[in-house]
Amino acid sequence: MRSLPRSQHIIASGLIAAVGVTIAYISYTQEPAGAYVFPRLISSVFAVLAIWTFVKAVLGRTKVGNGISGEAMLRMAPGLVVTLVYVFWAAKALGFYTATTIAFFILVSLYDPAPHSQLKTWAKRVAITAGFMLVMYGLFAQLLNVFTPREILF
Amino acid sequence: MDFLFYMGDVFTPINFGLLLLGTIGGLILGATPGLSPTMAVALLIPFTFQLEPQQGLILLGAAYTSTVAGGAVSAILLKIPGAPANIATTLDGHTMATKGEGAKALQLSFLASAVGGIFGVFLLIFLTPVLAQWALAFGPSHLFWLAILGVTVIGTLDSSSVVKGLLAGCIGLWLATIGFDDIMGAQRFIFHPSISGGINVIPALIGLFAIPQVITMFTKGRSSDDAEIISVKRHPIRLAFVEVLRRKTALFIGTITGSIIGLIPGVGGQIAGLVAYDQSKKFSRESEKFGTGHSEGVIAAESANNAMVGPSLVPLLTLSIPGSPTAAVLLGGLLIHGIFPGPDLFMNYPQVAWTFIDSMLIGQILMCIFGLYIAGLAARVARVPHAVMAAVVLGLAVFGSYSVQNSMGDVYVMASLGVGMYFLERFGFSAAPLVLGLILGPIAEANFIQGSMIANATVGMGSYFFTGWLNWLLILIVLASVSYSIWMEIAQRRYTTKDDAVAKEEAMS
């Protein structure tokens, strides 16, 4: 079993340590001090543990966590990009239902093991997407009366 | 005997319908690999907004109970545990299925689950009021230490690294401080307008449990799960009853082990199943048959993982300290209805509390009946391609978190925390302590501030927080859990090479 490069652990724990130190700094410098009593307590422990983890990673003594292999990263990247675009842009800009339909269809098509060359495969993907969206519309718009952003489409 | 007084409320048409829906839905969701009970309950919370509190809790409780039992279906028929709690079930259950005894294994698993589950709920019924009465004596310093205890116990026992477990707990506690300070009204750590009101627990829970699963499914790429469903032959249910009664040692060990482990915060069903399996093997006259498709293995594992469900809710209902991630999600379900569990829950909301507990009791019986009939269907659902499953879970997560307050900010929080949690998990951090920190943070802070005020006006901080037998006991448990976990980590390292540890961790994930 191949263990992943130490650099991944150093970067990850370094980022967490940076967050910990920043929070501790903010907690000890912001006013009113009374509002930061509890955050000071938490952030001090946070920073100490985060620095400890970082030092262990630098020394190569990290025992748990397999990191992410390049292969897994490549497989995950398209789905992650679609997810982030869907959540942070499309859902608001295009409308909730339109964005969800597009994102759902793209994700199913991206990761479906069935061959892309067959028309039947595409018809199945369209049918699954349509079925899911009908259920979502029925549940959220009709049953729960959730008014989602409609924006330029629906 | 208050629980008998409210038993009738479970059988009103709406309540019973929701109980059936939660049970059947939970069995199907539980059979689906990758959909853990915690995630299933988190995704269901938005559907409870328009329900009465007790109705919402009935739905969530039924789903919790039956997802744990439903995981046995895919463990037995596909050799893929539906949830970590069902890992021990695969050892003998799947072997039985390959020998043509799949129906028998399923019947044994549901019957044992029901027996274990009913015992666990009775424990919940009889222990909760006693502990609740005792907990009335708790002051701010005790509640502060209890909250810290909840985070540290889960942080140390649920994680493979003590430091990373505690660090995850600290991240959760810090996230809980974002937003307005209750005492001075000051804004704290507002990095983006979408978190100006603080982090809403429900979208956070959905993100922390659902999004890492979605990304994990992405990492499988376009591969197909080629696990084959083993067809089952008919097996008379009467014979399964007789078999369960004949294997009473395994049933007893599983039920007791599961109940005790359930009471300990942070120790989940996965451990309950494995410990019960191991102990049954030790005490069995046919220990050599374990692993070769022995019915005792299935009975012990399944009775244990369902017996822990009821007791795992005792700390939640009495002290408002969720003992497990799923209990934390249930706490979220209570909070959105304005119900804060704790010692006075049974005085202020007896109908909600007792109807919920009673529904879990009836739910165990329904789970057993329906489990036996829909196991085949559930196994087929378990084969839904991961591409579709990932897209469905993502869609539900986005709609579910939006519907909490009709706010895009909640969707951003859900996605950010979820993506962040995926990467944290890859580096050895666990979601459970982070969630506990996020939920217990406000309790810890409110009681710390209140305690500080009392202390400053009376005996001083040191005396107030560090004296008195109850404070000492709680501090001692915090220290003991941390010390025990450090000792276990060192002992484990001494006998395990780094490559073995990496291999074990990859197998678990």
- Do B234 and B103 touch, CB atoms closer than 8 A? yes
B435 with B107: CB under 8 angstroms? no
Question: Which chain B residues in 250-279 lie under 8 Å from chain A, judged by CB atoms?
Answer: none
Domain count, chain A: 2
If asked whether residues A104 and A45 sit together in one domain, one would say no
Distance CA B6, CA B1 (A): 9
Residue A87 and residue A34 share a domain = no
For residue A150, being part of any structural domain is answered with: no
Q: Which ipTM did the prediction report? A: 0.92
Residues A77 and A138 in one domain: yes
Q: Find the mean pLDDT for residues B229-235.
A: 68
What pLDDT, on a 0 to 100 scale, did the predictor assign at position B464? 84
CA distance A153 to chain B (A): 17
In a domain, residue A38? The reply is: yes
Could you give the 3-state DSSP secondary structure of residue B179? strand
Same-domain status, A80 and A45? no
Element of type H or E holding B180: strand B179-180
Examine residue A102 and state whether it is found in any structural domain, yes or no: yes
What is the distance between the alpha carbons of residues B98 and A75, in angstroms, rounded to a whole number? 33
Same domain? A79 vs A136: yes
Nearest CA-CA partner of B299 in B240, B366, B254, B241: B254
Confidence of residue B352 (pLDDT cuts 50, 70, 90): confident
At B142-167, the pLDDT tens digits run 888 888 888 887 777 666 788 888 99
pLDDT band, very low/low/confident/very high, at A142 (cuts 50, 70, 90): confident
In a domain, A10, yes or no: yes
If pLDDT is split at 50, 70 and 90, which confidence band does B46 have?
confident
| Amino acid identity, position B112 | A
Instruction: Give the separation between CA B157 and CA B151, rounded to whole angstroms.
Output: 10
Per-residue pLDDT band at B251 (split at 50, 70, 90):
very high
Instruction: Output the six-digit token pair for A62.
Output: 């990290």
pLDDT at B212 over 80: yes
- A152 belongs to a structural domain: no
Question: Residue B493: its pLDDT value, please?
Answer: 66
Together in a domain, A92 and A139: yes
Kindly report the backbone phi and psi dihedral angles of residue B286, in degrees, each rounded to the nearest multiple of 5, phi listed first. Answer: -120, 45
CB contacts, 8 Å: B183 with chain A: 34-35
The model's confidence at residue B34, banded by pLDDT at 50, 70 and 90, is low
- Taking a contact as any Cβ pair under 8 Å apart, which residues of chain B between 426 and 445 contact chain A? 426-429, 441, 444-445
In this structure, is residue A30 part of a structural domain?
Answer: yes
* Model confidence at B268: pLDDT above 60: no
A80 and A138 in a single domain? The answer is yes
Q: What is the average pLDDT across B248-265?
A: 87
Rounded mean pLDDT, B170-191: 87
Is residue A148, in this structure, part of any structural domain at all? no
Tell me the pLDDT tens digit for each residue of B109-154: 999 999 999 999 999 898 888 887 777 778 888 888 888 888 887 7
Q: Are residues A75 and A49 in the same domain?
A: no
Query: pTM, whole model, 2 decimals?
Result: 0.82
Distance of alpha carbon B327 from alpha carbon B38, whole angstroms: 8
Does residue A149 fall inside a structural domain? no
Rounded-to-integer distance, Cα B324 and Cα B129, Å? 20
- Residues near B459 by Cβ (< 8 Å), separated by ≥ 6? none
Task: Tell me whether B395 touches chain A (CB under 8 Å).
Answer: yes
Same-domain status, A80 and A133 = yes
Same structural domain, A41 and A80: no
Q: Tell me the average pLDDT of chain B.
A: 83
Question: Measured between alpha carbons, how far is B203 from B234 in angstroms, rounded to an integer?
Answer: 44
* Residue B160 touches chain A, beta carbons under 8 Å: yes
User: Quick check: B449 and A38 in contact, CB under 8 A?
Assistant: yes
Burial class (CB in 10 A: 0-12, 13-18, 19+), B420: middle
CB neighbours (10 Å) of residue B49?
17
Q: What Cα–Cα distance (Å) separates residue B299 from each residue in B70, B115, B128? A: 14, 10, 27
Q: What residues make up the domain containing A132?
A: 71-143
Q: Six-digit token pair at B386?
A: 């991961």
Domain check: are A51 and A88 in the same one?
no
Percent of chain A residues topping a pLDDT of 70: 94
User: Which residue's structure tokens are 């424990």?
Assistant: B123
A135 and A94 co-located in one domain: yes
Predicted confidence band at B509 (pLDDT cuts at 50, 70, 90)? very low
Structure tokens at B368: 């057993």
Could you tell me the pLDDT band of residue A2, with boundaries at 50, 70 and 90? very low
